Amino acid sequence: MLNLSDNRVGTKISLSKYKAFRIIGLAPGKKIGRVLLFFFILSIITLFLPWTQNIRAKGYLTGLKPDQRPQAVHSVIAGRIENWFVQEGDYVSRGDTILHISEVKEEYFDSLLVSRTAAQVGAKEEAISSYRMKVEALNRQIEALDKTRVNKLAQAENKLIQVRLKVQTDSIEIEAAQTRLQIALDQYNRAKSLLQEGLQDLNEFERRKNNYQEAQARFVSAENQLLSSRNQVANAEIELFSIENEFQEKLAKTRSDLYNSLTSLYMAEGELNKLQNSLANYTWRSGLYYILAPQSGYVTRAAKTGIGQLIKEGEEILSIMPDSIDLAVEMYVRPIDLPLIHPGNKVRFLFDGWPAVFFSGWPDLSFGTFGGEVVVIDNFATPDGMFRVLVSPDPNDVSWPSALRVGSGAQGIALLNEVPIWYEIWRILSGFPPDYYFPGKNGSSTKE
């Protein structure tokens, strides 16, 4: 075919009978060589064309913010379904009634439980008020007893001072009586001597003797008076001690009553707090019989149906899809590709059900793809060893279709560095990862 030999095929067979030879002419070798040369040159040129490195990852549409994602409505308490106020597909506003349930626990069966508990709270408050009044009365009684004790002690101390002064007076009096007795005794002895010598008459002696006896009587009386005064001092001291003990006993008893009243007051306050806590819990629980919509949106799926079905505490009842959502794509990348992804990276998406034509290395030539920008990268892996990346719409690109719905699938292509095709072929054949780079400040890629 290339005319390398003198042994010609055309001499043996008729080349005009074959369509291929008729198309390329009677000298096919020269034209095929030109075609091959053209493709060779084209291949060499193609090797130097730019190629955008990328990472592919699958994901699905979700809400950008946590409060914009499908929310499950749970029942805080256990109950029995009594009435439904919505159905699947209905639009509900925040605070709308979704479901009415009734009580299933026997300790809450009483329909007057809240009012009766409120009555108990009122009675306990009255009891606390009475205890406080009793405490105030006992405090006033203690003050009165203390003042009375001070007055009584002052009186007893004054009396003790008086009898002590009387003891001093009686002591002086007995000294004087003893002096008078001694004088009367001396006079009596002198009169007796004079009477024996005949120098004194009998009447004078009798008078002296009488004076001496009277002095003895006054001395004995003074001694008795001193002993009586000393007894009064002892009695006054005993009375002072008795008054102190008496009032200490009364004060101790009153303080004991006061402490008992305070103990009862504090116990009543503790019981009041418990009753108030129970009343608040019962009131709050009674408001949970009607399950309300936590946010505005559409009822998407009812996990419980029918009337009379029992619901456990914390069990899911239905789901609500928010009506206003900022769409984002939640995609998962391999750990080996994670270091290549950074906030701000550009990503192209092919959405399920949306026609698209995508050229891997030339995203600008693609059709039907939509741009995104990485906003969140998780710092921990999922149970299957992948890392979650959250991508929001690129504000500088075409807006995402309004027909997209949360939960739809999406295939993301994270755009990395631009390299020549020969470099990309060499990298793939060598088993090297894509180039490590950060997105630049002006939106271009910057190698690290």
Higher pLDDT: 27 or 232? It is: 232
Residue 275, pLDDT score: 92
For residues 202-209, average pLDDT = 75
Q: By CB neighbour count within 10 A (0-12 exposed, 13-18 middle, 19+ buried), where does 197 fall?
A: exposed
Confidence of residue 259 (pLDDT cuts 50, 70, 90): very high
3-state secondary structure of 349: strand
Residue 30, pLDDT score: 59
Note the pTM of the prediction, 2 decimals: 0.56
Residue 125, pLDDT score: 92
**Lowest mean pLDDT across 113-127, 195-209, 336-350, 392-406:** 195-209
Residue 263, pLDDT score: 92
Residue 186, pLDDT score: 80
Residue 108, pLDDT score: 85
Residue 323 contacts residue 91 (beta carbons within 8 Å)? yes
Least Cα distance to 389 among 344, 355, 432, 430 occurs for 344
Looking at the DSSP bridge assignments, the partners of residue 349 are: 370, 412
**Lowest mean pLDDT across 127-131, 134-138, 242-246, 343-347:** 343-347
Contacts of 165 (CB under 8 A, 6+ apart): none
d(CA 42, CA 123): 99
Confidence of residue 359 (pLDDT cuts 50, 70, 90): low
Confidence of residue 355 (pLDDT cuts 50, 70, 90): confident
- pLDDT greater than 60 at residue 439: no
- pLDDT greater than 50 at residue 274: yes
Q: What percent of the chain has pLDDT over 90?
A: 16
- The tens digit of pLDDT for each residue in 21-34 reads 666 554 445 566 67
Query: Which domains are delineated in the chain?
Result: 1-47 (no CATH), 51-67+325-447 (2.40.30.170), 70-86+293-323 (no CATH), 113-287 (1.10.287.950)
Contacts of 61 (CB under 8 A, 6+ apart): 327, 328, 329, 330, 351, 404, 405, 406, 407, 408, 409, 410
Mean of the per-residue pLDDT values for the chain?
Answer: 80
Contacts of 262 (CB under 8 A, 6+ apart): 135
The residue to which tokens 């007076």 are assigned: 169
- pLDDT greater than 80 at residue 318: yes
- pLDDT greater than 60 at residue 444: no
For residues 359-386, average pLDDT = 76
- The tens digit of pLDDT for each residue in 286-317 reads 888 999 998 888 998 888 877 888 888 888 88
For residues 387-409, average pLDDT = 86
Cα–Cα distances in angstroms (integers) from residue 20 to residues 17, 25, 27, 28, 285, in the given order: 9, 8, 12, 9, 90
Confidence of residue 427 (pLDDT cuts 50, 70, 90): low
Residue 124, pLDDT score: 92
- pLDDT greater than 90 at residue 89: no
Higher pLDDT: 106 or 431? It is: 106
Looking at the DSSP bridge assignments, the partners of residue 419 are: 51
Least Cα distance to 50 among 440, 363, 420, 439 occurs for 420
d(CA 441, CA 229): 113
Residue 448, pLDDT score: 42
Residue 106, pLDDT score: 84
Confidence of residue 171 (pLDDT cuts 50, 70, 90): confident
- pLDDT greater than 80 at residue 416: no
Confidence of residue 129 (pLDDT cuts 50, 70, 90): very high
Torsion over CA: 437, 411, 344, 47 (sign) = positive
Residue 326 contacts residue 92 (beta carbons within 8 Å)? no
Residue 401, pLDDT score: 85
